[in-house]
Amino acid sequence: MLRLIFLAGLVFIVLMACSREPETQISMASPKTSLPANDPRPVILAFGDSLTAGHGVELPESYPSRLQKELDRRGLKYFVVNAGVSGDTTSGGLARIDGALDVHPKIVILELGANDGLRGLPLREARQNLEEMILKSQAAGAKVVLAGMTLPLNYGPDYIRDFEAMYGELAKKNHSILIPFFLEGVAAKAELNQDDGIHPTARGYVIVMETVMRSIEPLLEHPRDDH
């Protein structure tokens, strides 16, 4: 499915979103200040780059905010913390993961690596950084959901193959849940991306949220029905 999406040739402009530094304010409070005092709900930490931060849309339209609304709608008592930073690479994520884990999440949705690939950085380094973040998250008591990505065709078949495979291999090795393609159903669809042709629209982020929700569902504790 990943290959078929990229044969359309349009997903390049979507992925370029991850490589750009923030052009406008992304309203991201730190995880510490995002967590209400004495809130008993277990935390889901959405940790990533601009696709997590919700670049270009209002914060309530980002996928973590949409995820919070969906959890609330279903009566699932979780608190979602948005720890997305536009332009972040795996090395940037590794540098800030310890602070983010201070909220003691039960689930970490790890969405990073596209910027490394778009910049042609060595995959060995990206793989190592992702694995360290997975292991740190697990050591902190969290289940990890790893969001897979892919790259434009002009990066060459070998690099793309190794980049795509990196996510599946890491998820299998470290007993994590894999989202094969984070932008499934959104990439290369003009009506689901902003006017700049780069970031998902509010509608696009609804689909991203649904993809994430399907992946985390096996990890969620549902209210007991005592009737």
**Domain CATH for 9:** 3.40.50.1110
Does some domain include residue 107?
Answer: yes
CB 153 within 8 A of CB 6: yes
Each residue of 117-129: pLDDT tens digit? 989 999 999 999 9
Does some domain include residue 159?
Answer: yes
User: What are the catalytic residues?
Assistant: 50, 196, 199
Does some domain include residue 32?
Answer: no
CA atoms within 13 Å, Cβ hemisphere of 56: 22
Does some domain include residue 184?
Answer: yes
Does some domain include residue 31?
Answer: no
Could you give the dihedral angle defined by the CA atoms of residues 132, 135, 140 and 145, in that order, rounded to the nearest 10 degrees? 100
pTM of the model: 0.86
Is a pLDDT exceeding 60 seen at residue 16? no
Q: For residue 48, what are the β-bridge partners?
A: 84, 111
Name the least confident of 21-35, 84-98, 175-189: 21-35
CB 136 within 8 A of CB 105: no
What total number of domains does the chain contain?
1
Instruction: Look at residue 20 in the predicted model and tell me its pLDDT.
Output: 44
Domain coverage including residue 63: 2-21+43-217
Does some domain include residue 29?
Answer: no
Instruction: Look at residue 194 in the predicted model and tell me its pLDDT.
Output: 80
Does some domain include residue 105?
Answer: yes
CB 192 within 8 A of CB 14: no
Does some domain include residue 26?
Answer: no
